[in-house]
Structure 1
Amino acid sequence: MASIKIAGLNKRFGDTPVLKGLDLSINDGEFISFLGPSGCGKSTLLFCIAGLEQIDEGSIRFDSKEISDLGPRERNIALVFQDYALYPHMTVRDNIAFPLRQQKLDDTTIGKQVAWAADVLGIEPLLDRLPAALSGGQRQRVAVGRAIVRNPSALLMDEPLSNLDASLRVRMRTEIRRLQKQLAITVIFVTHDQEEAMVLSDRIAVMKDGIVQQFAPPMEVYAKPANQFVAGFIGSPQMNFLPAELCGGSTGQILGVRPHDLKPAGWTNGGLSLTGELLLIEPAGPFQFLDVSVAGHVVRATCTDPSGLSPGESITLHASADAVRYFAAEGGTRINQHYMETESRIHAL
């Protein structure tokens, strides 16, 4: 297993900077997710760690050993791709054994390692099948088996669940997390799906435009976002944002409150109160989403019982003071203060 330290990493494609002065320290045995929108540089960073992309400046160290100039085979990493990349003419057994045969290990060692990987992943009955005879989830297990069979220092995964249907994705992410805990292996997992990152990770590196915006445990990223981008990217539905001066705050600040913290209620001193026109009620299982027009802005709230509520009517929403966040309008940095307004509420215009 390995700890990974990235310092001052820069990567350009031609004249276009893709990764900009990145610094990250990943502990041995951690499960880390690189999370962000398409084009933010998360897969490029993964490929730089794997050795598939050369960096322009900076360093990458595995357990204090500089590996920036080493080829992929010399880094003792395993990489699982989005498209599985299984050899269609090989059985599951031979697919898993392939990297060991490349190392020219003896048949007895190869057989033991393949049996171990198949047992860990629960795919023993599939060993003599071809990939065409497997489901998507089974192919993903085979791809993971081929990755772990040679005991790599780190397992790198590039959006490995994106080709699976929703229910299978949930099952597979549970399997991946169980496997990581069982093997105590360092995992770097690239995803654009915030729910995957929140569920799987010890820490999340949220990226935008080649820069890590925040690197912290999932609930810290959710509850204490470093800036407005992180606050808006993490959480579903997205956090509501309003100009702070509309709510009694300072000019040049943005007020943010999550829909799950904003609920129909009467005025309560010490918290945020918004009054507006109810536009839409959206069923979502155990709760309902409420879209409300407030001072020309549409905000989203939640409630468990929408009886008595009708679109077109006036509605007052409330959030506790500690659920409100402030961000600088310029740059979006989070400001460490709580909502203190106690005497005024904002009404629809």
Structure 2
Amino acid sequence: MASIKISGLEKRFHTVHVLKGLDLAIEDGEFISFLGPSGCGKSTLLFCIAGLEEINEGTIRFDGRDITDLGPRERNIALVFQDYALYPHMSVRENIAFPLRQQKLDDGTIGKQVAWAADVLGIEALLDRLPAELSGGQRQRVAVGRAIVRNPSVLLMDEPLSNLDASLRVRMRTEIRKLQKELGITVIFVTHDQEEAMVLSDRIAVMKDGIVQQFAAPMEVYNHPANRFVAGFIGSPQMNFLPAELCGATAGHVVGVRPHDLKPGTVPGGLTLSGELMLVEPAGPFQFLDVAVGGHVVRATCSDPAGLSPGERITLSAGADAVRYFAADTGLRLTPSVTETESRLHAL
């Protein structure tokens, strides 16, 4: 296993500046997710750690050892790709054994390691099948088995669940997290799916335009986003953002409140908004409410929409501690005191 320290990492493709002075410290045995929209640099960062991409500036260290100029084989890493990348003419057994044969290990050692990986992943009965005879979830297990069979220091996973259907993704992420805990291995997981990152990770590095916007535990990122981008990217549905003049906040601020914190009724000392109910959307145990407030559409939730009809006037509120403030120009989160918060919120 290994800790990872990235310092001042820069990566350019010709004139395109992809990664911009990144600094990250990952502890031994952590499960870390790189999360962000397409084009933010998360996969490029993963490939730099793997040694598949050369960096222009900076250093990468494993357990204090500088591995910046080492090739992938010398870093003792394993990489699981989005498309599985299994050899179609090889059995599951041979696919898992392939990296060990590349190391020219003896047949006895190879057999023991393959049996161990198959047992850990519950695929013993599949060892003599070809990849074409496997389901998507089974192929993913084989790809993971091939990655862990040689006991890598770091396991790197590039959107490994993207090709699976929704229910299988949920099962596979549970298995991946359980496997990581059992092996105690350092895992870096690239995803654009914020739910995957929240469920799997010890910490999340939220990225945008080649810069890490926030690197923290999932609920820290959710409850205390560093800026407006993080607040909007984490959480589903997305956080509501309203200009200061609609909420009685200081000029130059943007007010944010999550739909799950905004409900019909009033909360003393909290944020209160009034508007026209536009739509009620069933979502299982609760309903989403789309409400027009001062030219903006605000989303709220309620457990029982009985008596609510589109077109009528509705009052929504959230507790003062659920309201977030962001600078309108920089997008950075502001942290006013409770007294200031309560004085800025008023009913419309």
TM-score where L is the length of structure 1? 0.98
Match in the other structure for 1:59: 59
Cα distance in 1 for residues equivalent to 2:264 and 2:60: 51
Does residue 340 (structure 1) correspond to residue 322 (structure 2)? The answer is no
Cα distance in 1 for residues equivalent to 2:261 and 2:345: 20
Deviates more, 1:96-105 or 1:242-251: 242-251
Cα distance in 1 for residues equivalent to 2:172 and 2:304: 34
Residue 244 of structure 1 and its aligned partner are, at CA, apart by 1.6
SS at match of 1:340: helix
Asked if the contact 2:247–2:344 (Cα under 8 Å) also holds between the matched residues in 1, the reply is: no
Cα distance in 2 for residues equivalent to 1:146 and 1:265: 55
- Structure 1, unaligned stretches of length 5 or more? none
Alignment of 1:158-307 (within 5 A): 158-266=158-266, 268-307=267-306
SS at match of 2:342: coil
Write the deviation string for residues 61-87 of structure 1: whole angstroms up to 9, x where unpaired.
000000010001110000000000000
Asked if the contact 1:327–1:335 (Cα under 8 Å) also holds between the matched residues in 2, the reply is: yes
Match in the other structure for 2:8: 8
Match in the other structure for 2:317: 318
Let me know the Cα RMSD of the aligned residues: 0.8
Asked if the contact 1:7–1:23 (Cα under 8 Å) also holds between the matched residues in 2, the reply is: yes
Which AA in structure 2 matches 1:59? T
Residue 265 of structure 1 and its aligned partner are, at CA, apart by 0.6
SS at match of 1:212: strand
Cα distance in 1 for residues equivalent to 2:44 and 2:264: 44
- Structure 2, unaligned stretches of length 5 or more? none
Write the deviation string for residues 284-303 of structure 1: whole angstroms up to 9, x where unpaired.
00000000000000000000
Write the deviation string for residues 184-206 of structure 1: whole angstroms up to 9, x where unpaired.
00000000000000000000000
Which AA in structure 1 matches 2:81? F
Percent of pairs with identical residues: 81
Write the deviation string for residues 291-331 of structure 1: whole angstroms up to 9, x where unpaired.
00000000000000000000000000010000000000011
Write the deviation string for residues 105-157 of structure 1: whole angstroms up to 9, x where unpaired.
00000000000000000000000000000000000000000000000000000
Residue 343 of structure 1 and its aligned partner are, at CA, apart by 7.4
Cα distance in 2 for residues equivalent to 1:292 and 1:245: 17
Q: How many residues of Structure 1 are paired with residues of Structure 2 in the alignment?
A: 345
Cα distance in 1 for residues equivalent to 2:114 and 2:344: 65
Write the deviation string for residues 24-62 of structure 1: whole angstroms up to 9, x where unpaired.
000000000000000000000000000000000000000
Which AA in structure 2 matches 1:32? I
